[in-house]
Amino acid sequence: MTKIEQLKDWIQSSDNIVFFGGAGVSTESGIPDFRSKDGLYAREDFKYPPEEMLSRSFFDSHTKDFFDFYRKILLAPNKGPSKIHHKLAELEKEGKLSAIITQNIDGLHQQAGSQKVFELHGSILRNYCMKCHKFYSEDTIRETDGIPLCEHDKGIIKPDVVLYEESLDNHVIAEAISHLQKADMLIIAGTSLAVYPAAGLIDYFKGDTIVIINLDPTPRDKIATLLIHGSISQALCD
What positions carry a catalytic annotation?
Answer: 121
Residues 6+ apart with CB under 8 A from 42: 36
Which sign does the torsion angle of CA 143, 144, 148, 151 carry? negative
Gap between the Cα atoms of 120 and 198, Å rounded: 7
- Concatenating the DSSP letter of every residue in 208-231 gives SEEEEE-SS--TTGGG-SEEE-S-
Closest CA relative to residue 136, chosen from 160, 115, 118 = 160
User: How does strand 97-102 pair with strand 17-21?
Assistant: parallel
CA distances from 59 to 42, 56, 63, 195 (A): 21, 5, 5, 20
End-to-end CA distance of the chain: 15
**Is the Cβ–Cβ distance between 208 and 184 less than 8 Å?**
yes
Burial state string for 48-74 with b = 16 or more CB within 10 A and e = fewer than 16: eebeebbbeebbeebeebbbbbbbebb
Q: In a 3-state reduction of DSSP, which class is residue 87?
A: helix
